[in-house]
Chain A
Amino acid sequence: NAGVTQTPKFQVLKTGQSMTLQCAQDMNHNSMYWYRQDPGMGLRLIYYSASEGTTDKGEVPNGYNVSRLNKREFSLRLESAAPSQTSVYFCASIEAGGPGEQFFGPGTRLTVL
């Protein structure tokens, strides 16, 4: 059981470049989340997917798009990266949506120059 996996682990982009962060979980969870973590800001929700086929905006969705490819996979896309998107990105999943334990991936460290 790998839990929640994220790729890549590190990435450096130039302003205006695009990229997709990948997340997969093998726990048969229904709900998946994307967060960003910045110093002093805690975890801020970007987008979430309560179930396969649905996605909803979180607190800071601007500049991002998501795709719930299937029950296992939830990707986050930056269409035109900006320096303000330099952050650590975490994917998380939970068996059913709601205020329960979320299982987190190891994170992707993204730097936008």
Chain B
Amino acid sequence: QKEVEQDPGPLSVPEGAIVSLNCTYSNSAFQYFMWYRQYSRKGPELLMYTYSSGNKEDGRFTAQVDKSSKYISLFIRDSQPSDSATYLCAMGDKGAQKLVFGQGTRLTINP
């Protein structure tokens, strides 16, 4: 079993829809949770960064962490065609030198 599991999709939704992307993990020591966005043929870029449990909102994006269920989510409201990309979750524990990434979910927003 992988330490971090993410449904690779692909996921295709109409413009304006609410998108939900999810990851599960098995390492209870993880405290730092991130979402990276990767456009086609580009390197990943950090989108959201949360510490421990709870919600964090940034514009149309909301990141949720439920440590009791070992489950994290990224919600995109009023999705736009420019949100079409691969979204990778990543996580790490305090003092760790490295992150563990999910497989990535390929998302397409149709105009």
| A99 B104 Cβ-Cβ under 8 A | no
Most buried by B among A35, A40, A99, A104: A99
| B49 A40 Cβ-Cβ under 8 A | no
Residues of B within 8 Å of A104, CB to CB, are 43-45
Q: How far is the CB of A73 from chain B (nearest CB, A)?
A: 17
Interface residue tally on B, bucketed by range: 20 to 34
Residue of A nearest to B49 (CB): A101
Residues of A within 8 Å of B45, CB to CB, are 104
Interface residue? A110 (CB, 8 A): no
Interface residue? B74 (CB, 8 A): no
| Subset of 7 A-B contacts with CB under 8 Å | A40-B8, A42-B103, A43-B104, A56-B97, A90-B43, A90-B44, A101-B46
Task: Give me the interface of A with B, judged by CB distance under 8 Å.
Answer: 4, 31, 33, 35, 40-45, 48, 50, 56, 58, 90, 92, 97-102, 104-107
Q: Taking A35-B101, A42-B102, A104-B45 as given, write out 7 further A-B residue pairs in contact, using a Cβ cutoff of 8 Å, ordered by the A residue number.
A: A33-B98, A98-B97, A99-B92, A100-B49, A102-B46, A106-B42, A107-B43
